[in-house]
Amino acid sequence: MRGPILASDVTVSIVWPSPGLRSALAAADEINVKLFSKPAAADPLAGSDVPVEATPGVLPPSEIDRWIQAESARAARYGRPYAVVVLRPELLPGEALDASVAAQAAAAVRARARDADIVGWRGDGVLAVLMPETLEHAARAAARRLQNDVWMRTRALTSAKFRAEVETFAAPGPADA
């Protein structure tokens, strides 16, 4: 019986594709990094008084708006449905949204969202969930589930509740002839 394989026992050969294909692959990698990378130290509530640390999987306002614009264009081009569910904190006059409440709300939304959904801050404690390929009745059901999950996660921390609503919905239009 032979012992563990050591790095010195293994020879690795790397064969690079042609220079044209290599540059195309590098450009594709750069595009993928720009489209799908999450900012490491972005302020999730830009323009808000709530200093919240970045929640994994939750985009800052500029990024979620960019994703919504792209999905809107895709929906118009291919006639596909999408929805944007928005969760707004209902605060009493003079009450501010605490950073820990915002972080717990974001974590609850990210945990409930599907893999295809994009979650992001809209500013002032407002969370948005972009739901591609989602019909209106499914978006309304998801909004109820999200609102309940956020309430369950934040009820011990604050009296504020988050109200969920379907802000944008685009249904497939008639096919272009």
Backbone angles phi, psi at 10, to 5 degrees: -110, 135
pTM score, two decimals?
0.67
pLDDT per residue as tens, the chain (177 positions): 555 555 454 444 444 444 554 554 454 445 444 444 444 434 444 444 443 456 778 999 989 999 999 999 999 899 899 999 999 998 888 778 888 889 999 999 999 999 999 999 998 889 999 999 999 999 999 999 999 999 999 988 888 889 999 987 777 665 543
Dist. CA 88–CA 7, nearest whole Å = 55
Strand pairing partners for 132?
82
